[in-house]
Amino acid sequence: MRLLILGGTIFLGRALAECALERGHAATLFHRGKHNPELFPEVERILGDRNADLDRLDGRTWDAVIDTCGYFPRQVAASAQRLAKACGHYTFVSSVSVYASFAEPGMDESGAVGTIEDAATEEITGETYGPLKALCEQAAEAAMPGRVFNVRPGLIVGPHDPSDRFTYWPVRIARGGDVLAPDRPGVLVQIIDARDLAQWMVHVAEDGLTGVYNATGPAGPLTMGEVLDSCIRIAESDARLRWAPPSFLAEQEVAAWSEMPLWVPDSEGAGFSAIDCSKAIRDGLTFRPVDTIVRDTLDWARAWPPDRTLRAGIAPDKEAAVLAALAGTTALS
């Protein structure tokens, strides 16, 4: 299969390129060349910015295209329209954030998507990101009706994740000591390893699967306690988890998701970490064990240069202060 990847050297794009090569496909990467230029020397590269240089793709054909980096409907419409006669299948990487509400657990692909008053805005915020992704999905389908696979991942994790939204936990727990943990051990979380997502997406491109699919995991319920226990086990850490209720974290101005990665309190949407992915699982999506994700992520993080710092998670000084305050409330109770 001749495969064009828009992106291809950062995280999911990197995993897609690796998987395509492993499966013997002829991959072409269209990207700006600003990140990891040493990767994949055997792969054809077309250097350019999707906002200005799509003409560099003219005169070529591919069996399938995977678009990893579309955030605005203008971008996706331009690429899908330009490539409509150059490929047979187009995958757009969207997000579960497209949904208008996460009030109810078990939401499937039929859930209503968010809308935005100004569809031309190109300012990404917590309020615009999801609706813009929904408009991107629609733009791709309009350009290539019946030939588009819109995949809606949840939190993508694993080695080479530039956000550290999962990496924080194995790295922090490996340091040991008292660790601030959000809410309660039984709170649900959902994650998908970039390598699992990439393998499935390449398989989808091979088979020409189309439509909209949620894609997060694992196959059964996963709790925050299970993830953090895995981190303790894999890191062989002496970490002691100190669970703090949502009300206490709010009082201490500890932010969900950014300072306490993976965690979204039930008050903000009990369904956010309970998305129904049975359609994708039925059509071939599989998941590696959490222990494997933790081990591989920690091994990758341990090879960081000394000046590399975590980009997510609570700062050590703030965590210490919050843990002290938590200990005080425990002593008084």
pLDDT per position as a tens digit, 149-185: 999 999 999 999 999 999 999 999 999 999 999 999 9
Query: Is CATH 3.40.50.720 correct for 2-153?
Result: yes
For 58-67, how does the pLDDT look when each residue is reduced to its tens digit (9 = 90+)? Answer: 999 999 999 9
Torsion of CA 203, 288, 167, 29, to 10 degrees: -20
Quick check: helix, strand or coil at residue 79?
Answer: helix
What's the rounded Cα separation, in Å, for the pair 46 and 321? 50
CATH 3.90.25 boundaries in the chain: 168-189+219-270+289-327
Kindly write down the DSSP assignment for every residue of 200-233, as one continuous string: HHHHHHHHT--EEEEE-EEEEEEEHHHHHHHHHH
For 19-34, how does the pLDDT look when each residue is reduced to its tens digit (9 = 90+)? Answer: 999 999 999 999 998 8
Location of structure tokens 């727990």: 173
* H or E element at residue 28: strand 26-31
191 beta partners: 217
Location of structure tokens 């990891």: 36
Say how many CA atoms lie within 13 Å of 181 toward its Cβ: 25
Question: Mean of the per-residue pLDDT values for the chain?
Answer: 96
140 beta partners: none
56 beta partners: none
Q: Quote the percentage of the chain above a pLDDT of 90.
A: 94
Going by pLDDT thresholds of 50, 70 and 90, the confidence category of residue 56 is very high
Cβ burial of 115 (10 Å; 0-12, 13-18, 19+) is exposed
For 214-226, how does the pLDDT look when each residue is reduced to its tens digit (9 = 90+)? Answer: 999 999 999 999 9
What CATH code would you report for 168-189+219-270+289-327? 3.90.25
Instruction: Check pLDDT > 90 for residue 270.
Output: no
Specify the pTM: 0.96
Instruction: Check pLDDT > 80 for residue 331.
Output: no
Residues 6+ apart with CB under 8 A from 204: 91, 149, 151, 283, 284
Torsion of CA 179, 153, 93, 193, to 10 degrees: 60
